[in-house]
Amino acid sequence: MMKDKNIAMLAYLSSLLLFIHFILFIAVLGVAVILNNDRNNEFVSFHIRQMLGIACIALFLSIFAGVIPDNAYWLAFVIIFLVVIMAMLGLMSVVRNQKDELPVVGAAFQKWFSFIK
């Protein structure tokens, strides 16, 4: 009985950790936007828009993850893998001090999030 209770508590703990992760993400994003407001650096704004787009895709996927059928788990893995690859490409672009749009969706992110200056 106690073992089952611990496993159930672990499940709830994981959901709480996801919530904390989301709050930390919003806080870091807010700090980046606020720090860039004074400087109005186009390089930073470009990468904030790209990152926000990746985050929106990840959030959208996590919301609709329950819709993916059990036998199509590989599809979820591929999509998550692509999101991670996009984040890595964006990070490499920052490290190289370049403004490279993400493949396929980067131009759309720049248009959708143009309010970030």
- How confident is the model over 70-96, as pLDDT tens digits? 677 777 778 888 888 988 988 888 888
Q: Which helix (H) or strand (E) holds 69?
A: none
Residue 46 in this model has a pLDDT that exceeds 80:
yes
Q: What is the reported pLDDT for 15?
A: 64
What does the DSSP assignment read for 6-32? Answer: HHHHHHHHHHHHHHHHHHHHHHHHHHH
What ranges do the domains of the chain cover?
2-112
Q: Is the entire prediction scored with pTM above 0.75?
A: no
Q: What is the reported pLDDT for 42?
A: 82
For the stretch 11-34, pLDDT in tens is: 666 666 666 777 777 787 777 777
What is the three-state SS of 26-44?
Answer: HHHHHHHHHHHHHHCCHHH
Q: What is the CB-side half-sphere exposure of residue 51 using CA atoms within 13 A?
A: 20
**Apex 21 CA angle, 113 and 33, nearest 5:** 35
- Percent pLDDT > 90 in the chain is 3
